[in-house]
Every structure is written in C-alpha cells, then in structure tokens.
Amino acid sequence: MINFLLTAFVVFIVVKQMNKLHRKKDEPAAPAAPTTKICPHCMSKIHIQADKCPYCTSDVE
C-alpha cells in the first residue's frame, strides 16, 4: 500500500512539472492593455478614460 502511494505521488509530481514546462513554451506573454493615451494638444500622457487633459484643460475625444 505504501509503495503504491509513493509511486502515485512521484508520478503526479512528474506529470505536474511536465505540464508546467510544456505550458511555458506554448504561451507567449500577452501584452498589457494600454492605460494611458496622448493628449493631441500638449502631447502629455493622460489616463485612457479622461475627458479633459489635466495639463492643458482641453477636451479629449
């Protein structure tokens, strides 16, 4: 019984590590979503959801 449990545990660990290595090769890192945009008037970075630029106070689309 103990021999079976040890063997099952070792096989579980080996399969888990093989899956982890296999997954790392196939999945490239996804690029992060942009969180800023450029104000067309003063060219400074502002939050993506901003309606007005905090630097030049112009309306941003």
Instruction: Collect the ranges in the chain with pLDDT lower than 50.
Output: none
Q: What is the mean pLDDT of the chain?
A: 88
In total, the chain counts a number of residues equal to 61
Cα 27 to Cα 16, 19, 21, 32, 34, distances in angstroms: 17, 12, 11, 15, 21
**pLDDT at position 32, please?**
86
Give the global pTM: 0.47
What gap in Å lies between CA 52 and CA 7, rounded to an integer?
64
Cα of 10 vs its chain's centroid, Å:
32
Provide the residue ranges of all domains of the chain, joining segments of one domain with +: 2-47
